[in-house]
Chains A and B, each alone.
Chain A
Amino acid sequence: MITEKIRAAAKELLEKGEVETVIGWERGTFWYNSTPVFISKPEQADRLVFDDFCANNLAKYLLDYRNADGKIAVFVKGCDARAITRLIQDNQVKREKVYLIGIPCTGMKEAPKTVSSQDVAGLPLLAKCQSCATPNPVIYDILLGDPVPQKEVGNRFAGVEALEAKGADEKYEHWGKLFSECIRCYACRNVCPACNCRECAFDANGLNWLGKQNNLQENQMFNMTRAMHVAGRCIECGECERVCPMGLPLMDINRKIIKDLNELFGSYDAGLNLEDRPPLGQYKLDDPEKFM
Chain B
Amino acid sequence: MKTVVKSKISALLDEIAKEFNLLVPTAGDGASKFAPYTSGGQVSLDGRTLLPPKDVFFPQTEKMYKFSTDGMAGSLETLLEAPKHQMLFGVRPCDVKSIHELDHVFLTKGFVDEFYQSKRDRTFLVSIGCNGPAEPTCFCQSMGVNPQESDAVDVHLFDLGSEYGAVAKSENGEAFLQKYASFFNEAEVQLPAISEFALKPDVEGITEKLQQMFDHPLWEEVSRKCLGCGACTYLCPTCHCFDISGRVAGNQGFKFRCWDSCMFSEYTRMAGGHNPRPSKKERVRNRFLHKLQYFPERYGDLLCTGCGRCLSKCPVNMDITNIIKQIREVELA
Contacts and interface: CB of A to CB of B under 8 A. Distances in A.
Interface in B120-151: 136-137
Interface stretch (B170-178, B202-210, B222-230): B222-230
A29 B311 contact: yes
A211 B254 CA distance: 13
Say which size band chain A's interface belongs to.
35 or more
A184 to B, nearest CB: 8
Contacts of A33: 317
Contact of A183 (B60, B266, B322): B60
Given A181-B30, A187-B229, A35 B269 contact: no
A185 interface: yes
Contact of B61 (A28, A61, A214): A214
A35 B61 contact: no
A183 B31 CA distance: 11
Nearest to A28: B317
B235 interface: yes
Interface in B277-329: 311, 313, 315-317, 319, 321-322
A291 interface: no
Nearest to B233: A185
B231 A243 contact: yes
Contact of A214 (B60, B229, B266): B60
B264 interface: yes
Nearest to A115: B136
Contact of A205 (B30, B266, B316, B319): B266
Contact of B261 (A60, A185, A191, A242): A185
Interface in A47-106: 56, 60-61, 64
| Interface residue SS majority, chain B | loop
Interface residues of B, number: 40
B265 interface: yes
Interface of A: 28-30, 33-38, 56, 60-61, 64, 114-115, 181, 183-187, 189-191, 203-205, 211-215, 239, 242-243, 245-247
22 contacts: A29-B137, A29-B319, A30-B198, A36-B225, A36-B316, A114-B136, A115-B198, A184-B234, A185-B231, A185-B261, A186-B229, A190-B228, A191-B227, A191-B315, A204-B266, A205-B269, A214-B60, A214-B258, A243-B229, A245-B234, A245-B313, A247-B31
Given A29-B317, A204-B266, A214-B60, 16 more contacts: A28-B317, A30-B136, A37-B225, A56-B315, A60-B227, A183-B51, A183-B235, A184-B230, A185-B231, A185-B233, A186-B229, A186-B264, A191-B229, A191-B315, A245-B50, A246-B31
